[in-house]
Amino acid sequence: MGKITAGAILNVDQCRALTGRVGDVEYFRFAEFDEYRPEAVVDVLRGQVAGVVFRGVVPARTLALLTERFWASPARRRRGADAPGHYLGAYHYHKTTEDYLAEAAEFHAALDAVLDVPDDPVAGLNQGLAKALAAEGVRFRPAGRDGRQASRVIIRSWHGQGEYALAPHEDLGQCTEPRQRDFEIQRAADHQVVAMNMCLDNGSGGRLVVWNIRPDEASRRRLGLHYTGSPYPLELLEEVEAVRLDVNPGDVYMFNGSHVHAVEPETSSEKRRITISGILGFVDEHTVVSWT
Ligand SMILES: [Fe+2]
């Protein structure tokens, strides 16, 4: 298994250096399978490998049904200028714990109505992972507080403009949001914060880009991204090693969200990208939680 090297510093620029931890060749890669292997997700959760992709594991008829129900859902909402598009489900970004969990409750029934398909692929993923973790004495459950639960997933279709459809960012910063000090997900920052994505539809292009750097706190503070994790200036990433992952409908991929990552725009004019997403991480030795 690969390693993240503790003291490895990457100096990109003398004045505005982006510093952090970089992975070795064994670690910094996407393990690839053509079937679901929950134990490979555990490797990502334990920080032994940067990512994993399961190719074509959701059947076409399921993708079509989920897509149709997403667009038909009366609970689907429009998102603003920073990431234009549509979504179903709550996102915790920039909210109080209370507001996030209340919003998650509002979306609960609407998400169930979309996801309740034969061979529900989200349930399949979660059950497989729960079993693999249970074998190691670890419980897997949705994050929550006071009897309220995080959203199971968030379903999104978005089409940002510019060089990247989703600007370079990391998912760690948003887990240090002061308004969420009372939320257990903040303890995931002491472990690995793992992004989960299931591609329902994608035009051509739209690759995931992951850079081999996990910015340290000094860089995040210097760039003013400490609580947001976004956006990282492109010029600071030019010299950084990156993997570019082709993503096709039916693929499920998970990766260490502490690495700076971005999504390339679709090159075709039809904007088709729809993704089911979630975030997961250990919050203590015996518990993995998921949130959105
Ligand atoms: Fe992300």
Instruction: Break the chain into its structural domains and give their ranges.
Output: 4-291
H or E segment to which residue 210 belongs: strand 208-211
Per-residue burial over 169-184, b if 16 or more Cβ lie within 10 Å, else e, is bbbbbbbbbeebeebb
Could you tell me the distance, in angstroms and rounded to a whole number, from the CA of residue 261 to the centre of ligand 1? Answer: 6
Q: How far apart are CA 19 and CA 260, in angstroms?
A: 12
pLDDT tens figures, 41-99 = 999 999 999 999 999 999 999 999 999 999 999 999 998 766 568 999 999 988 999 99
Q: What number of residues does the chain have?
A: 292
Confidence grade of residue 16 (pLDDT, cut at 50, 70, 90): low
Could you tell me the distance, in angstroms and rounded to a whole number, from the CA of residue 285 to the centre of ligand 1? Answer: 24
Main-chain phi, psi angles of 187, to 5 degrees: -75, -15
User: What's the mean pLDDT when you consider all of the chain?
Assistant: 91
Main-chain phi, psi angles of 68, to 5 degrees: -60, -45
Confidence grade of residue 6 (pLDDT, cut at 50, 70, 90): very low
Confidence grade of residue 163 (pLDDT, cut at 50, 70, 90): confident
Could you tell me the distance, in angstroms and rounded to a whole number, from the CA of residue 209 to the centre of ligand 1? Answer: 11
What angle separates helix 60-72 from helix 97-115, to the nearest 10 degrees? 120
Q: With respect to CATH, is domain 4-291 assigned 2.60.120.620?
A: yes
Q: Indicate whether 9 pLDDT > 60.
A: no
Could you tell me the distance, in angstroms and rounded to a whole number, from the CA of residue 168 to the centre of ligand 1? Answer: 8
Could you tell me the distance, in angstroms and rounded to a whole number, from the CA of residue 196 to the centre of ligand 1? Answer: 9
Could you tell me the distance, in angstroms and rounded to a whole number, from the CA of residue 170 to the centre of ligand 1? Answer: 6
